Structure 1
Amino acid sequence: MARATLPTESIGSLPIGRGISPRLSLVVAIVCGTLVLLTTVLLAEHETTRAIAEQERLVGNDLATSVDHILNQIRTRQRPELAALVGQPCADVSGRLAKLQTSIEYTRTANLALGGRLYCSSGQGSLNAPLSVYVPSITPGISLHLLPQTPFHPGVPALSLFDATDKDSGILYLITGDYIADVLSHGISYGAQDVGLSIDGVGFLSDNGKFVSSLKSARSYSTLVKSHLWPFSITLSSSAEFASRLRWKYMLAFNAVGVLLNILIGAIYLLAFAPRRLLLHAVHSGLRRNEFHIVYQPVVDIASREPIGVEALLRWNHPTRGAISPSFFMAEVESSTLLASVTGFVLHTVVMEMNRYAPAFPPRVAVNIASGDLERRGFATEVLALNRMLPTGVSLVLELTERFLLTQSAKTVTAFRTLKAAGIKFAIDDFGTHHSNLDLLSRFPFDYVKIDRQFVSTVDTDGCELIKGIVSVAKHFRLQVIAEGVETEAQHRALQAAGVPFGQGYLYQRPVRAEQFATLQEHRSAPSLPPQK
């Protein structure tokens, strides 16, 4: 199919949309937008979880440090003086023990142990109680235990801190659970709902001063922070209100980003296809304003150079941009609802002009149809009706590109055969440029094969054998061969030598309007006058 060229300044400002189909692009844009929103939701949830865990870790570390401070203070305050009392009779040291205990904060009592038994208390004086009641497992050095209660204070949890000075002997500090609970309760003000201190996994002391034998069911967000100095852990879970507040904070932030990204995706989509919409709108307006017209280029017998047919080519004369070639708008038209209007314009115009100028035109007129035409309902009926309106002796040829035929449906095949049965002929346009498939030639009853101009341009140099091969294949399938884009005499001679019967190109004639074509044909056929003497 012959193409007209445009000046660079004409095509540079023309809004053209290229690439994937608009429908697929819209689907891609919607999918991308949905993925962006889902991603922002997941990221917001992830950041919420991370922020809650980080907050719980910070609060847990702060509480553990506070308890560490209490235990360190108890362990070191008056320790030499108390250690000196171990082993001395309670009657001699009870007063001294009571006085020393008052200077040790957070302790309920300080007790002396000897031989595995408690024998002296800062609160009760002399006593005789097994050390194992307060210290379930005695180890050298310091040991810390959580007690659900003590014999003298049933139902009141306590911490027992035993500082061994010898085997089964040492100082026992009892720390009231309420002191520790006061420290733990500070975590509530930082968004925690449940806070506890656990030792050896036997249970935990809650922020309300209660002893729980087993940890509560874990919440969605729970953290365990171990002390680096003492054998206890802080367990805490954030409140639902705190978690909800953080979740909304991150949801709003990330969703705002998601909305902005979706706006950007939408803007990119609109910008990408705004040129296409503008172009299609311009085509639609051009059809209404009669900006389109048809030009005709002859197909000649190469041996005689006489026209044996014409190809009808659509042209657009834009009021401000000038002449616009179909190569700059037909790709978009073919994938839009304007295809029926454009193809209909071409067919109706050809029929009208053939009837007006029939005697001056060759007997065959070729019209290019697009990929969606044979798929359209009613297309075959429309073409058959127009074909009957052509002048007697004029036959219609429909040109299709092979890239289109490779993927067509049963509907296409039915329309093809219906038109063929009515005497309409078919040509493969641009043969050899789109995955040539010999199976096409056997499945579709074509009449012509049009060799693309890119092969014709090299026929007089190194492409002659390829042209001969195409001619041989065409003869096998009983097809006529037309060479497109013939521009030089050298190409003409090479095509003739290669056995190509028909040609089309600027060498023979440029595309012109119907009235110009008729005038040229009349001049061609007019007998030349003998020279006057």
Structure 2
Amino acid sequence: MYDPSNSAAGKFSALRDLATPGRSIAPRLTLAIAALCCIAVAVVAVLWGERFASEEVHARETLIGHDMVESLDRMLTTVRTQRRDALRELVGQSCTSIALQLSELETYVQYVRSINLVYDDRLYCSSALGPMDVPLSAYAPPHGTPDTRDIMVNLLAGTPFQPGTPVISIFEPTGIGKGVQYTVEGVYVADALAHGIRYGAQQVILLMPGSGVLNDNGEFITAIKAPDHIGTRVRSTQWPFSIAVLASDTLVTEMRWKYGLLFAAGAILVDLLIAAVTLLALAPHRQLLAAVRRGLRLGQLHVVYQPVVEMATRKIVAVEALIRWTHPRWGAVNPSVFMAQVERSPLLSRVTRFALRTAAADIAQRTDIRPLRVAVNIAPMDLQRKDFVADVLAVNNALAPDVTLVLEVTERFLLEKQSRTQAVFDTLKAHGVQFAIDDFGTQHSNLDLLGRFPFDYVKIDGQFVRQVDKGGAALIKAIAAVAKHYGMEVIAEGVETEAQHAALREVGVPFAQGYLYQRPVSASELFVEPEPRMSTTRL
């Protein structure tokens, strides 16, 4: 219990405000939250960088795809429209009579290898070969791709005359079983597709459903072996084909670096902002701990003692050591202002060590009350320190045989980390150190703690003591009975009135401490036995 009797509100209100941020959220928790936020920002930045890089790659693939579609749309439309009417008029006429005219018209049509006339579902006249007799199905298979104008468009691995050379076959009917068939050189298509490689594509392919695939190298792949998805696909709105574009590794890497660096820079700026805000938030905490550290070094911290009396005789049988801080500018600083910060910081070991050593020295040199118990408060983090047991034993071994060291622990921590706590209890009790559970009845109010840990004393919190003479004695009586069952003594804290003293004595409480008996004083003042008197106010 860190008694707040030395409060000087007007003197250190600025310091209380200084400590407020650290009191609401533990500094380590604040740092942990800030670190998690920084990590989250970094992760989000990476994910967003990847997303934007992917979108940029997709946009580039789409742009290349649209360019390729426009080029091939122009190519196929040019083939179909040039000399279209003149060619249609030749269908059905004798190949011998029109062969020369057909060859001449073919010279005006770009991108084609030959133009063939169809009659009775057979190619009978070619601009390149003259008379011929080839079934139409060799150039316009039944499973081909008709477009919306009944024009049959097919991507072929080759023709009967050049089997290994891919072509695009366009058949425009002029009637039943007759029409004009155009054989477009696949090399022209491959050349158009190859332009996409120059703009960051790794692969550009032409796909015709039911026909096959032509890549930028001019290689034909059957529909069965064609991949379902390659990069980004762009469909033509004029002809029955689509272009698939896969970006190159160089482009993907370039985009990742570009957006990775961009978002990394943003993440660094946000993380720096989080770090700055965190440092500003923790600045009061650090300043306060720095002031406490200076106070330890300059002797501003000292220890006072509040006696624990035997109820029957009011004889002092124990004292509780309480840390006080007198700052040269702030004056007397309330322990509730700085101890909450100290207990969650690495400074705790120094403060606890100071309290233990000072109390031992004061009791040995400035008092002759014997036997005497000296109670020192320890914080939850003390029980987790590796050097805590050694610190306590060093002080305990130096005490006189008739002086007993008592460590006071609050119940809120004892519900956790039981194996470590039990080991500390066992080791210290084996050397004669006693334990008291402080502020019992607050926090979780767990009576089971009395059975799980080998306490010697149970200190009942003052909020219950203040009700003992107003009909609230039943709870204290019950706690006293449970403590007695486990072989523990009860100490009532915060006794301020004779009525409370009488009521506590009536329910069988053997020991008490409070302003009624004596306020916290220096060790030398413990020689003075306080006179019984009423005291109902706190200074």
With the length of structure 2 as denominator, give the TM-score of the two structures.
Answer: 0.83
What's the CA shift for 1:142?
0.9
Report the residue type matching 2:58 in the other structure: A
**One of 134, 140, 143 as aligned partner of 1:135:** 140
- Contact kept in structure 2, 1:53 and 1:221, CA below 8 Å: no
Spell out, residue by residue over 1:216-261, the C-alpha distance to the aligned partner (whole angstroms, 9 max, x if none): 9969962333333322222332222222222221221222233334
The residue correspondences of 1:81-480 to structure 2 (distance < 5 A) are: 81-94=86-99, 97-98=102-103, 100-123=105-128, 125-137=130-142, 141-150=150-159, 156-200=165-209, 202-212=211-221, 222-302=231-311, 305-359=314-368, 363-373=372-382, 376=385, 379=388, 383=392, 386-387=395-396, 389-390=398-399, 393-408=402-417, 412-417=421-426, 419-461=428-470, 463-480=472-489
Spell out, residue by residue over 1:385-417, the C-alpha distance to the aligned partner (whole angstroms, 9 max, x if none): 544655674443332222333335556445534
- Contact kept in structure 2, 1:367 and 1:399, CA below 8 Å: yes
- Contact kept in structure 2, 1:309 and 1:361, CA below 8 Å: no
Distance 1:204 1:54 in 2: 23
Aligned-residue Cα RMSD (Å) equals: 3.7
What's the CA shift for 1:345?
1.8
Query: How many residues are matched?
Result: 523
* Identical counterparts, % of pairs: 49
Distance 1:125 1:423 in 2: 120
Distance 1:376 1:178 in 2: 80
1:40 corresponds to: 45
What's the CA shift for 1:98?
4.8
Q: Does 1:67 align with 2:72?
A: yes
Distance 2:402 2:134 in 1: 129
1:13 corresponds to: 18
Spell out, residue by residue over 1:56-76, the C-alpha distance to the aligned partner (whole angstroms, 9 max, x if none): 123213322332233234334
Change (3 A) 1:201 1:260: farther
Change (3 A) 1:182 1:458: same
- Contact kept in structure 2, 1:374 and 1:416, CA below 8 Å: no
Where structure 2 has 5 or more consecutive residues not aligned to the other structure, the ranges are: 533-539
1:17 alignment partner, SS class: helix
Report the residue type matching 1:120 in the other structure: C
1:531 corresponds to: none
- Contact kept in structure 1, 2:517 and 2:531, CA below 8 Å: no
- Contact kept in structure 2, 1:310 and 1:362, CA below 8 Å: no
- Contact kept in structure 1, 2:79 and 2:109, CA below 8 Å: yes
1:530 corresponds to: none
Report the residue type matching 2:22 in the other structure: G
Change (3 A) 1:377 1:94: closer
Change (3 A) 1:248 1:221: farther
Where structure 1 has 5 or more consecutive residues not aligned to the other structure, the ranges are: 526-533
Report the residue type matching 1:3 in the other structure: P
- Contact kept in structure 2, 1:300 and 1:306, CA below 8 Å: yes
1:224 alignment partner, SS class: strand
Change (3 A) 1:461 1:156: same
Change (3 A) 1:238 1:512: same
Change (3 A) 1:18 1:208: same
What's the CA shift for 1:317?
1.3
